Amino acid sequence: MTMKKMSKTTKSNMITYLMVIVIFLVVEILVFTGNVSSLLQGLLVPLCAYIILAVSLNLTVGILGELSLGHAGFMCVGAFTSAFFSKCTVDTITASGLRYFLALLIGAAAAGICGILIGIPVLRLKGDYLAIVTLAFGEIIKNIVNILFIGRDSNGFHFSTKDSLSLGLEDGGKVIVNGPQGITGTPKDSTFFIGVVLILVTLFIVLNLIHSRSGRAIMAIRDNRIAAESVGINITKYKLMAFSISASLAGVAGVIYAHNLATLTAQPKNFGYNMSIMILVFVVLGGIGNMRGSIIAAIILTLLPELLRSLSDYRMLIYAVVLIVMMLFNWSPKAIEWRGKYSSKFRRKNKKSTKEAA
Amino acid sequence: MALLEVNNLGISFGGLRAVNEFHLKIEKGRLYGLIGPNGAGKTTVFNLLTGVYKPNEGVILLDGNNIVGRKTIDINKEGIARTFQNIRLFKDLTVLENVKVGLHNHYKYSTLEGIFRLPKYFKVEKAMDEKAMELLAVFDLDKEADTLAANLPYGKQRKLEITRALATEPKLLLLDEPAAGMNPNETKELMETIRFVRDEFHMTILLIEHDMKLVSGICEELTVLNFGEVLSEGNTSDVLNDPEVIKAYLGE
Amino acid sequence: MSFISYLVNGISLGSVYAIIALGYTMVYGIAKMLNFAHGDVIMAGAYVVMVAISGAGLPPLAAVLVAVVFCTILGVVIESVAYRPLLNAASSLAVLITAIGVSYLLQNIALLIFGANTKSFSSVVPVPALVLAGGRLTIAGETIVTIFSCIVIMIGLSLFIKKSKAGQAMLAVSEDKGAAQLMGINVNGTIALTFAIGSALAAIAGVLLCSAYPSLNPYTGAMPGIKAFVAAVFGGIGSIPGALIGGILLGIIEIFGKAYISSQMADAIVFGVLIIVLIVKPTGILGKNIQEKV
């Protein structure tokens, strides 16, 4: 019995990996045969970042059972730290693969550390504090990035929170982070292929975590904190683990995003609250706790508005309605009861008809 | 030495004295009952024993170690496991997974070994599965191993909670109204299960119960709690014949 | 003199936060939910006032009344359509996410009707500015009215909860929903009433906010809403005097931060306060420590 179940989850995971690979191949073929507009091609790398964000947020929402409204903030941290690193080392580390790999590690680590710093005070509290604190964190990060100026000359790094002139750089010194103008000239190392590989890596980490001893502990806390404590589960440790892994994966998404742009700036639309909400819509539409669903929802909701341009004015409105309707339909006790009745009726009918057929 | 020895235990909530000068002594391997009218403070005693509440005064000696002030998870590691009056299962996990969470502190591999599926992951998971199935078989739950805990019938949910508690390999098992909401048949079956657990696992069990039939049927010793204080204690038959106890239960 | 002027401005902004925070804190106390859409009700109220004055030509006071009625109805509708079905949902995340959806919905409806451009909002406050210390300190009429309204609302609300039957019912529901129901209290009705009061207050807060900072766009309510929640947490969520203290302190911190540290970092400073409060005293200044029942 248990062996059968093991293979069931393994099978389900395999389907998810396979789905990603098949979609990748189909897109590559379509691009190769010239069936994808350049506009859509430009969306492919950001889409990979969104998918990773959605899966990582689903780890927090679906598995840990907490809400983060600052995933765009963690993405922002990953984006800026990694872009800073890549821009600084673009002349010294010439192997772009190695540089990108290091950038990934740095982006993930920086975002993960932010996750731990936020998680330590907040995750020990009961209630909806994580939502509001992560929201606050996202805004703080955006604020900080917009007043940060960093330059480098032969004397080393210079910092300022005023403007680029007050960095006091020598001749030949370079401004790396330029306040609201952000970082210009990050090497464009992200490709669709790398994005898809990183989606697979993300899935590997998240799915394997869920189906392990630590994952069970995390889900036990989600289902019943008091009972989990009573069987000796360390609540803070596992909550913090899930949340920091989720944050560092959001950082990875930021790395992909940053290395696809000529100029990286922190604006409300890419690293603000709206972005966090968009990712939440992916997670809710795809099914809370369902990683494959998050991927599909991210793909549909990213591509659909581009394909149906006339809808773009209503895009946000549609997101709002999707959120409300999905939550009411999936979680309201009455709706659950109604669906239960309906589906059992349906099943009974089905059984009857198969019996009749036999 | 007694397995559990509690002396002068007390706690107040605001101005209310919920438990006062409570004492208890349970020898290893005994089946002990804690009874009393509603609101007498029975569940509060459980919460004190498991570290959910911190007592204002008193000592709780488990195998001679004072566990007062320890956190719930550490007390579980010391060897006290419990069930809850209002069942608390991990409802979106399967029956098997519920028990495996109980095994958490006895079957270990690191998170990284889990994520990268190193050999230890497979070895330990296999051992966990075997141990969990063995426990489930004892409670006749092995056929439902893959069912979500939330979808189990009520009586089996109670059993699963006991299984999960036993998975933590406790020295002392606390059962909070295990027969609540059960019909007479289920209660009878539960009595046998509890006795079986004591005999098979050499377990020491302290249970809270309202059902007098269950109490008089399986408990060897009783403590009666009334208004947060010990009203009577001793052998089951003596206690149940104590006029004070009868008065407290029937009222005047 | 500038210090005193900043202080007065801080108290004024803080009074607005306090009025908004009341709505959060009451709803949190009773329904145990974070009503994310509360800030957007403020925005809705301000738009109603704007339309009523410039569109329908109503006098300011009548326009404010219309906005209060509108927001009260809006609050009750939101509660009954979006939140009530989820009141007993298995996961507390469900209602939180729905509230975010409602917030987003209100913003985007406003966006479709009024456009994204910021509209100028003409102050509805007829009180003249107060000039003190020989002209060195000017206190705007809006400031006076805001602080005064805040005091009146606090006193009124405290009396309502202490003296009236409905207020006592609110206390009972926030203590223990099940027990309140058994005592014959209409729990759903009490929750609806709480939303109604909170939303009516939000309308007033919207008018005061937009009179003091005369601009209005679909996102006007979001940030003050979130900051007011910070204020509620700061003062101790669930506590009415806590909302007042938290609101005023946060207003002062924000204005001082803007004046003496960095105007761009003012928001970051306010949110920094939230994180510090949660580390040092998670229950807030006046909050009670509630033990979960096992």
In this prediction, residue A333 carries a pLDDT of 84
* pLDDT surpasses 80 at A358: no
Contact list in B for residue C291 (CB cut-off 8 A) is 13, 53
Contact C279 A121 (CB under 8 A): yes
pLDDT at residue C98 in the model: 93
CB contact under 8 A, B43 and C291: no
User: CA torsion, points A254, A259, A264, A270, in degrees to nearest 10?
Assistant: -40
Interchain proximity C34–A144, CB inside 8 Å:
no
Residue A357: its pLDDT value, please?
A: 42
Phi, psi (5° rounding) for residue C131? -105, 125
Please name the residue of chain A whose CA is at the shortest distance from the CA of residue C36: A132
> Within a 10 A sphere around the Cβ of A77, how many other Cβ atoms?
30
Name which of A16-30, A171-185, B10-24, C158-172 the model is least confident about: A171-185
pLDDT of residue A239: 96
Residues of chain B where predicted confidence (pLDDT) is lower than 70: 250-252
Residue C268 scores a pLDDT above 90? no
ipTM of the modeled complex: 0.92
Lowest mean pLDDT, pick from A235-239, C17-21, C112-116: C112-116
Does the pLDDT at position A158 exceed 90?
A: no
Q: Work out the average pLDDT over C82-103.
A: 88
Minimum mean pLDDT range among A27-36, A212-221, C140-149, C275-284: C275-284
Measured in whole angstroms, the distance separating CA A352 from the mean position of its chain's CA atoms is 45
Query: What residues of C are in contact with residue A313 (Cβ under 8 Å)?
Result: 112
* Residues 5-64, chain A, touching C (beta carbon < 8 A): 61
β-strands B204-208, B172-176 pairing: parallel
Lowest-pLDDT range, A328-332, A349-353, B208-212? A349-353
Q: How far apart are the first and last CA of chain A?
A: 29
Cα–Cα nearest to A148, from A170, A166, A127: A166
* Separation between Cα atoms, residue B92 and residue C49, nearest integer Å: 48
Res A132: pLDDT:
85
| Residues of C whose CB is below 8 A from A143 | 264-265, 267-268
CB atoms C102 and A324 under 8 Å: yes
Of A108-122, C45-59, C116-130, C277-291, which one has max mean pLDDT? A108-122
Instruction: Please state, in angstroms and rounded to a whole number, the distance separating the CA atoms of residues B34 and C78.
Output: 48
Per-residue pLDDT reduced to its tens digit, B136-165? 998 899 999 999 999 999 889 999 999 999
Superfamily of domain B1-79+170-252 in CATH is P-loop containing nucleotide triphosphate hydrolases (3.40.50.300)
**Closest residue by Cα to residue A254 from A176, A179, A297, A202:** A202
B93 vs C: CB within 8 A: no
In chain A, what are the domain boundaries? 2-144+183-307
B68: left (phi over 0), alpha (psi -120 to 50) or beta: beta
The tokens 């009773």 sit on which residue?
C30
Rounded mean pLDDT, A318-342: 83
Per-residue pLDDT at A322: 86
Rg of chain B taking only CA atoms, in angstroms: 19
CA distance B11 to chain C (A): 14
Question: What is the pLDDT confidence band of residue C292, given thresholds at 50, 70 and 90?
Answer: low
Rg (CA), chain C: 19
pLDDT digits (tens, 9 = 90+) for A164-202: 777 878 777 888 888 888 899 888 999 999 999 999 999
List alpha helices for C79-125, DSSP H. 92-114
**In this predicted model, what pLDDT tens digit does every residue of A223-272 receive, in sequence order?**
999 999 999 999 999 999 999 999 999 999 999 999 999 899 988 888 88
DSSP SS3 for B188: helix
Please tell me the distance in Å from B122's CA to the nearest CA on chain C.
Answer: 33
Q: Is the pLDDT at A83 greater than 50, yes or no?
A: yes
When CB atoms are compared, the residue of B13, B52, B91 closest to C294 is B52
Answer whether A208 sits within 8 Å of B116, measured CB to CB: yes
What pLDDT is recorded for position A349?
Answer: 53
- For residue B165, the tally of other CB atoms under 10 A from its CB is 26
Residue B113 DSSP SS3 = helix
B43 touches chain C (CB under 8 A): yes
Q: Which of chain C's residues have a Cβ under 8 Å away from the Cβ of A132? A: 34, 226, 229-230, 233, 274
Count of other CB atoms within 10 angstroms of residue A199:
26
Please report where in the chains the tokens 């002209």 appear, as a residue: C135
Q: What is the pLDDT of residue A249?
A: 98
Which chain A residues contact residue B88 at CB under 8 A? 224, 226-227, 230
pLDDT value at C289 more than 70: no
Tell me the domain boundaries of chain B.
Answer: 1-79+170-252, 89-165
Interface touch B72/A5, C-beta < 8 Å: no
CB contact C27 to A (< 8 Å): no
Give percent helix, percent strand, percent coil of chain A, each to the nearest 5.
Answer: 75, 5, 20
Q: Where are the domains of chain C?
A: 15-220
Q: What is the pLDDT of residues C127-149, one digit of tens each?
A: 777 777 777 777 888 888 899 99
Q: Work out the pLDDT band at C44, boundaries 50, 70, 90.
A: very high
Categorise residue C236: left if φ over 0, alpha if ψ from -120 to 50, beta otherwise: left
Domain at A2-144+183-307, CATH from 1.25.40, 1.20.1070, 3.30.70, 1.10.3470: 1.10.3470
* Residue A355: predicted pLDDT: 43
Instruction: Tell whether B90 lies on the interface with C, counting CB pairs under 8 A.
Output: no
